[in-house]
A and B are shown apart, each in its own frame.
Chain A
Amino acid sequence: MSSFPPASTSASASAFTSASSAPLHLGVALDGAGRHPAAWREPGARPGELFTARYWAGLAAEAETGLLDFVSFEDSLTLQSSPADGPEGPDGPDGRTDRVRGRLDAVLVAARVAPLTRHIGLVPAVTATHTEPFHISKAIATLDHVSRGRAGLWIQVSGLPDEARHFGRRTGPLEEAELHAEAADHVEVIRRLWDSWEDDAEIRDVATGRFVDRDKLHYIDFEGRHFSVRGPSITPRPPQGQPVVGASGDGEASYALVARSTDVGYVPAHDGDGTRAAVAAIRRAREATGLAAQPLHLFGDLTVFLDADAPAAAARLERLDALAGLPYGGGGAVFTGSPGELADLLLERREAGLSGFVLRPGVIGHDLPAITRDLVPELQRRGVFRRAYEADTLRGLLGLDRPANRYAAHPAA
């Protein structure tokens, strides 16, 4: 038996406060060979395997041995770039040949990994700006079916002109706020489509010859500023009912999206005060949407370089920076130090109102095993992390109930 407290099944917001006894949630965000631009040059980075299933399956398995809540897969609809120092400027790819370029579709990578894992949540990134919510909804519903309830979605926006040129249907980039408003509509459509089949719509009633009860299939009739969608989905409601939707809350323009549309918001965990301010702003926005009673996790987002001690980690980062030719400035919060020091930091930083963290390994080949084999045991010793998976679904791991279907007729009072 595990001494770990079971995840709360309460849907009340109080389950998401940061009481110091509460278990910590932990995800890991994967991108190429790691966050650092020189990560692919490290021993153990396997840069020649970035486009193979073997590579991603191995990483997901490693994350699962660490009992992490989920693994996320980064994505974009353009070639990676480092705009600040690129010859083609901020509008286009930088033409660099010394960094990882190219990536696989994240939803497909998550699906490829699903049959090879059993417990860990699978969270692909999806760009709302250029995709069809109908397609994304059925893809994530299907990821949930093939993983038996472990699907999530990290919704992102893109204002990059070069990305828009890959689709060619927008005349000009949208403003930040408008991009986020469109993404919120995108998620609204996705969520309505997930509910457009009631759980028991398939009846297989041989007597009447009906395969489905069409009264349990619903048109969603969404009308928004950028698109309209009729529904219903072609894919039956996924096992979790609603897979777990997340988005980054990294600036004013994104707070409304996080507040209105997500189950998990990812906040850069720079420092106590900054994090506290972001958390407060998102909570206020949540109140304003009238969803305050619905649970909303806020996770700190942190890039990590883990070694035996702080000087060793700093030295490694310095070495990576020298290889890359400039100091690491990948955006977001960065931690360098030992797993013990990171455990201290996570426990301290969550007092700002966080219920978990998504860690971005600086060098996946090095820092992912440091998370699963060093950080996790340290957190377990402190009694704040699970010792075994306590649920079969991602919602279950995150202590989120399976939501009722918005279209289902409510039983008579």
Chain B
Amino acid sequence: MTSKPLKQIHLAAHFPGVNNTTVWSDPAAGSHIDFDSFVHFARTAERARFDFLFLAEGLRLREQGGQIYDLDVVGRPDTFTVLAALAAVTERLGLTGTINSTFNEPYEVARQFATLDHLSEGRAAWNVVTSWDAFTGENFRRGGFLPREERYSRAKEFLETANGLFDSWNGTEIAADPGAGVFLRDARAGAFAHRGQHFDIEGRFNVPRSPQGRPVIFQAGDSDEGREFAASSADAIFGRDGTLEAGRAFYADVKGRLAKYGRTHDELKILPAATFVLGDTDAEAHEIAHEVRRRQVSGQTAIKFLEHVWNRDLSAYDPDGPLPDIDPEVGENTVALGRASVRQFRDPLETARQWRRLAEAKNLSIRELVISTTADQTFVGSAATVAEQIDTLVQADAADGFILVPHITPGGLDDFADTVVPLLQERGVFRTEYAGTTLRDHLGLDVPRPASGRQTVAS
């Protein structure tokens, strides 16, 4: 056998929210707003020694066909506020917030993350997302001003600017010496200036250097620019695909981009989103998974999903009947607004052709087709099977770990914590205790030195 040491798996928990992953109709599904739900979910993840909890973000309620989308969970609390409150009821769990770089300003976001890092004693992470659309922009002062091709140029400059702000304090400035009357050792603490295409700002940052120096940076865009941005600037990338082949390809692609930025293989973790269904036996798990899929994709949901690709009203079609014989409307998607998933379908005509072929070959209705083409649960089986699947994928370099998205709020992680985690621990691939206190400790990442290198003499 190989002499390669076993890779240690990273696990994170994605709070189930506004997409059809969440089965809100299940009697076990609780509130996705009530703080108790977040507390339960976070404490389960921490009890299982997960690396971090993850919150997605949306800045406008989705619409379809000119109306607010009402079939999935709608609404969510504010990311920073929930994470700061969770810092009070957890001790080690990393706290990752998705925050958009288009509809925010660096000074404000940098101080929110630096504050979160202080208030959690080093557990903050930022998933930098770049949704740029004018639809979302209608909720903001500056409106929908950003052309699509500029989303990563702003994101990159946003992150550079924020890093400049984080680095404007090097961590030795605060003396707080009452006897000497010296609070700051350095009269210029926090001084920064950034001049660029998107930001032209200068002044004094007002949050001292936080325990992690900078929050851990995540990236979650899967375009070529997105991967490049991750390779150059992120500590982890949140992928879409948790299968062996696609996972390995993505893994190799993204890790292969690191060298040109002078970064090593371990400096970027690859953590795909993954769903799971557990049963006492594999057969039972597959049965449950089938049932969950049907509840995730109702007839109405299937039609709405098809409209993402067809970009036209399909409400007259029968979800239990065949695919529409009309073609998708090409061009800008005006039917489904506020969804990242519509951007997956770059060539709707080709997608429709493939789906028609598939439906014909297997004799699938619209609903059956949608169930089979939208991602199946990543991990299905008994606890032993799922532990094995996860370990296999990680050891095969299809991922460094997974961000698990249960389909029930907030108890959907409980079984995983109680049954799968102990098996991974037995295999020696998952921690039984946290080795450190910060999220950087959990992920094996160094604390960055302030890049500006402004020297201050520590007394």
A111 touches B81 (CB 8 A): yes
A36 within 8 A of B: no
CA distance A409 to B138 in the complex (A): 25
Which residue of chain B has its CB nearest to the CB of A323?
B181
CA distance A168 to B76 in the complex (A): 30
Q: A78-B203, A104-B119, A132-B103 are in contact. Are A235 and B139 (CB under 8 A)?
A: no
CB-CB under 8 A from B142, the residues of chain A are: 169
CB-CB under 8 A from B112, the residues of chain A are: 105, 108
B178 touches A78 (CB 8 A): no
Which of A77, A97, A162, A168 makes the CB contact (< 8 A) with B187? A97
CB-CB under 8 A from B205, the residues of chain A are: 79
B200 touches A168 (CB 8 A): yes
CA distance A146 to B189 in the complex (A): 34
CA distance A79 to B184 in the complex (A): 12
A157 to chain B, nearest CB (A): 15
**9-residue interface stretch from A13-21, A226-234, A287-295, A328-336:** A226-234
CA distance A115 to B39 in the complex (A): 10
A interface residues, how many (CB within 8 angstroms): 80
Please name 11 pairs of A and B residues whose Cβ atoms are closer than 8 Å in the assembled complex, sorted by A.
A47-B176, A76-B206, A95-B188, A104-B111, A130-B105, A130-B107, A135-B78, A141-B77, A142-B78, A212-B70, A235-B76
Interface digits, B301-339 against A, CB 8 Å rule (1 contact, 0 not)? 100000000000000000000000000000000000000
Interface digits, A41-53 against B, CB 8 Å rule (1 contact, 0 not)? 1100101101111
B201 touches A166 (CB 8 A): yes
B182 touches A97 (CB 8 A): yes
CB-CB under 8 A from B71, the residues of chain A are: 209-211
Known: A78-B204, A108-B80, A168-B200. 6 other contacts (CB 8 A): A79-B206, A95-B187, A107-B80, A168-B202, A211-B74, A212-B75
A244 within 8 A of B: no
CA distance A142 to B78 in the complex (A): 6
Which of B24, B176, B187 makes the CB contact (< 8 A) with A204? B24
Contact surface of A with B, Cβ cutoff 8 Å: 40-42, 45, 47-48, 50-53, 57, 76-80, 92-93, 95-105, 107-109, 111-116, 130-132, 134-135, 138-139, 141-143, 145-146, 148, 162-163, 165-169, 197, 202, 204, 206, 209-214, 217, 226-232, 234-236, 323
CA distance A48 to B208 in the complex (A): 12
CA distance A93 to B191 in the complex (A): 10
Q: A108-B112, A234-B61 are in contact. Are A143 and B81 (CB under 8 A)?
A: yes
A394 to chain B, nearest CB (A): 16
B181 touches A104 (CB 8 A): no
A77 touches B206 (CB 8 A): yes
A40 touches B76 (CB 8 A): no
Q: A130-B108, A138-B78, A162-B203 are in contact. Are A96 and B60 (CB under 8 A)?
A: no
CA distance A229 to B138 in the complex (A): 6
CA distance A146 to B89 in the complex (A): 12
CB-CB under 8 A from A40, the residues of chain B are: 176, 178, 183
A73 to chain B, nearest CB (A): 11
Which residue of chain A has its CB nearest to the CB of B88?
A115
Which of B68, B88, B103, B120 makes the CB contact (< 8 A) with A217? B68
Q: Of residues 101 to 130 in B, which have CB atoms within 8 Å of A's CB atoms? A: 103-105, 107-108, 111-112, 115-116, 118-121
CB-CB under 8 A from B4, the residues of chain A are: none
A167 touches B298 (CB 8 A): no
Which of A77, A142, A234 makes the CB contact (< 8 A) with B60? A234
Q: A197-B75, A235-B78 are in contact. Are A134 and B59 (CB under 8 A)?
A: yes
Q: A108-B115, A131-B108 are in contact. Are A53 and B178 (CB under 8 A)?
A: no
Q: A48-B174, A139-B81, A212-B70 are in contact. Are A134 and B187 (CB under 8 A)?
A: no
Which residue of chain A has its CB nearest to the CB of B58?
A234
B386 within 8 A of A: no
CB-CB under 8 A from A50, the residues of chain B are: 176
CB-CB under 8 A from B72, the residues of chain A are: 211
Most buried by B among A102, A138, A168, A236: A102
